[in-house]
Chain A
Amino acid sequence: MLLIEAYVATQTLNEGLDAIHDMIERFWKDVASFHQLPSESWRHLFTTALAEVAANGLRHAYPPDATERPLWVRLRLFPDRVEALVIDQGAPYEPISFAPDAPGNETDIAKLPESGYGLFIARSALDSLHYRRTRSGYNCWRLVKKK
């Protein structure tokens, strides 16, 4: 049973991140009006994961000089979970960029990587993260976090 749903569609990098943060803030407010909010840590983990997946789409899916970077996000609250769908129209995602390990496991600071944590963060913060490329040329990410 779907309880609450929210959508946002964005076109550019700057506007995209602002819109997604605004959307999720409003979403938690809506949730709080009708249902019990998940804990603060839970919400931070979900928001952080969503921001990472969206940033990934906004930055990597489109060429560096692209001025238009269409991205759609749908958020859904169910009794037992929150789901997000993040869709972009860019190049197919290359699974090789999946970070294998927690960055903090590296003890030699000089060797600590400065990037590539995004999807590690998203996967660790969620119960599931699925990617699929549609035949019509969209990248679709489905994020699920159980309550």
Chain B
Amino acid sequence: MALQSEPGDDGITVVRMDGRLDLLTAPEVKQQLAELIASGHRQLIFDLDRVSFVDSSGLGALISGLKAARQAGGDLRIARANHQVRTLLNLTMLERILRPYETIEEARAGYSQIAAD
């Protein structure tokens, strides 16, 4: 299993992985995100703290997860992305769509805001 998931009492599930999110790991991550969302975990935070490198396939897996979560009425947020991942998001202009949150708490706070609205 590439991803570890940790469902919280607030309905938000934090997912984590170690190593590179790239050509080799992206297909499994994409599938696991789809399965999580299909089983009702629609509000996801992808903790990238232990992800060392993301390539275009990795971005594809994140976008796929984001689309599936939005379609199910939820969202996928990313938190604790390293410098390389931020550089990549900036280069592809995807940071507007996949905003990198500094901390898990910040990503979580955004969700409570939606619930409060």
Question: Which of A2-10, A76-84, A102-110 lies on the face that meets chain B?
Answer: A102-110
Q: Using A44-B83, A48-B84 as known contacts, say yes or no to A118 and B97 having CB atoms under 8 A apart.
A: no
User: Which residues of chain A come closer than 8 Å to B50, judged between CB atoms?
Assistant: none
Q: Are B91 and A124 in contact (CB under 8 A)?
A: yes
Highest count of chain A CB atoms <10 Å: which of B23, B88, B93: B23
Q: Are B87 and A103 in contact (CB under 8 A)?
A: no
Q: Are A118 and B93 in contact (CB under 8 A)?
A: no
Q: Are A104 and B56 in contact (CB under 8 A)?
A: no
Q: Does B59 contact A (CB under 8 A)?
A: yes
Number of interface residues of B (CB under 8 A): 29
Interface string of B59-102 (1 = CB under 8 A from A): 11101101100110000000000011001100111111100000
Highest count of chain A CB atoms <10 Å: which of B67, B83, B91, B95: B91
Bound state CA distance, A40 and B84, in angstroms? 9
User: Which residues of chain A come closer than 8 Å to B63, judged between CB atoms?
Assistant: 103, 112-114
Question: Which of A29-37, A51-59, A136-144 lies on the face that meets chain B?
Answer: A51-59
User: Which residues of chain A come closer than 8 Å to B96, judged between CB atoms?
Assistant: 104
Interface string of A86-129 (1 = CB under 8 A from B): 00000000000000001111000110111111101100110000
Q: Using A45-B91, A59-B23 as known contacts, say yes or no to A115 and B55 having CB atoms under 8 A apart.
A: no
Q: Does B24 contact A (CB under 8 A)?
A: yes
User: Which residues of chain B come closer than 8 Å to A14, judged between CB atoms?
Assistant: 24
Q: Are B23 and A121 in contact (CB under 8 A)?
A: no
Q: Does B22 contact A (CB under 8 A)?
A: yes
User: Which residues of chain B come closer than 8 Å to A55, judged between CB atoms?
Assistant: 22-23, 55-57
User: Which residues of chain B come closer than 8 Å to A102, judged between CB atoms?
Assistant: 92-93
User: Which residues of chain B come closer than 8 Å to A47, judged between CB atoms?
Assistant: 53, 84
Q: Residues on B close to A: CB < 8 A? A: 20, 22-24, 30, 53, 55-57, 59-61, 63-64, 66-67, 70-71, 83-84, 87-88, 91-97
Given contacts A13-B23, A51-B53, 10 further A-B contacts (CB under 8 A): A17-B20, A44-B87, A47-B53, A52-B56, A104-B95, A109-B70, A114-B61, A116-B56, A117-B92, A121-B56
* 19 CB < 8 A contacts A-B: A13-B23, A14-B24, A41-B83, A44-B87, A48-B84, A52-B56, A55-B22, A55-B23, A104-B94, A109-B97, A110-B67, A110-B70, A112-B67, A113-B60, A114-B30, A114-B60, A120-B92, A121-B92, A124-B91
